[in-house]
Amino acid sequence: MRRGPWLYLAPALILLITFTYVPVANMLWYSFHKWDGLDVHMTPAGFGNYVRVLTDEQYWRVFLVSLYYLAASFAQIAIALYFAVVLSYNVRFKNLFKGILFFPYLLNGVAVGFVFLYLFQPGGTLDTMLRALGLGEHTRYWLGDPDIANLSLAGTSVWRFTGLNFVLFLGAIQSIPGEIYEAAEIDGANRWHQFRHIIVPGIRRIISLSFILAISGSLAVFEIPFIMTGGANGTRTFVVQAYQTAFQFRQIGLASAMAVVLLLIVLLVTWVQRRILPDDEVSLS
């Protein structure tokens, strides 16, 4: 008896289509309508929703907020790369440091949000430490001041995600064969030369992947601002705005147009990445 492959594939395919492709198709359809998500009638809106997303300040401003997170993720990549290089050589307490640096990545996002709410409170941990260091005049409303709130949140994001980049870099560095370093050392290369000519080329793939993930990740920030400020004081990100538009103000059409714009940007970024970095290792069967 021959049972075809479809029986084995069916559960995965049905779920894939139901929860990825049908939503994407519906979203496109909703995005050209004015709809509250309940009414049986959807009013066609043409490109109205898109025009609003791209012209109304309330909607395009959220892209500017993404820039804070984008800048933060570059800092995150630099910090992670530094520590990955340092810890790939012989260091005392290597595993302890490795564990400490990576650990935040595993923590629950809501818990991290609360930990940093506590840290940034007026008179909280950060203010107390600044005072102890004699920098008392630099205390401010870390989350209440629109000039600084996004920096505080982006800093939280760096704290939370550096560990992921760090572990990925560390893994890549350790997969470079040891003989290459030995040969380089015989040739008189110092640590900087080794970093510049062995490590960076050796992990180029993972570094550029990190930049791509940084861009799409910065556009999709949700948890940290939603939990810590609820989007107040100018900290609303694209996804927080889309969430509020859809589920609080019930403008499903408009929220869908936002989501389509976001999806297009992410696909574009990915496409550019594949062009720059043809990915022959991921070819399936």
Partner 1 sequence: MSGLARTAKYLSLVLASLVVLIPLVVVLFAALKTHAEYNSTGPLTPPRNWLNLDNFVTAWTAGNMLRGFWNTTIILVVSLTGTVLIGTLAAYAVSRFTFGFKRLVLGLFLVAALVPGVTTQVATYQIVKSMGLVNTQWSAIVLFLGTDIVSIYIFMQFMQSIPRSLDQAAMIDGAGRFTVYRRIILPLMKPAIATVVIIKGIAIYNEFYIPFLYMRSPGLSVISTALFRFKGPYGAQWEAIAACTMIVLLPTVVIFLLLQRFIYNGITAGATK
Q: Which of residues 42-81 bind partner 1 (CB under 8 A)?
A: 79
Residue number with CB closer to partner 1 (18 or 43): 18
> d(Cα 257, Cα 28) in Å, to the nearest integer?
7
**Exactly one of 72, 119, 198, 207 binds partner 1 (CB under 8 A); which one?**
119
Is there a contact between 245 and 254 (Cβ–Cβ < 8 Å)? yes
Under the binding rule (CB under 8 A), the answer on residue 82 touching partner 1 is yes
Please state, in angstroms and as integers, the Cα–Cα distance from residue 121 to each residue in 46, 128, 135, 161, 229, following that order. Answer: 46, 10, 16, 22, 12
Residue number with CB closer to partner 1 (70 or 220): 220
Residues forming beta bridges with residue 44, ordered by sequence position: 33
**Exactly one of 62, 77, 81, 101 binds partner 1 (CB under 8 A); which one?**
101
Q: Which helix (H) or strand (E) holds 44?
A: strand 43-44
Tokens 């400020």, residue located: 229
User: Which range binds partner 1 by CB under 8 A, 65-73, 119-127, 141-149, 179-187?
Assistant: 119-127
> d(Cα 254, Cα 239) in Å, to the nearest integer?
13
Show contacts with partner 1 in window 4-43 (CB under 8 A). 4-6, 8-9, 11-13, 15-24, 26-27, 30, 37
Show contacts with partner 1 in window 120-179 (CB under 8 A). 121, 124-125, 128-129, 132, 159, 164, 167-168, 171
Is there a contact between 168 and 213 (Cβ–Cβ < 8 Å)? no
Residue number with CB closer to partner 1 (216 or 234): 216
Show contacts with partner 1 in window 200-259 (CB under 8 A). 206, 209, 216, 220, 222-223, 227, 239, 242-243, 246-247, 252, 255-256, 259
Return the structure tokens found at 87.
């810890």
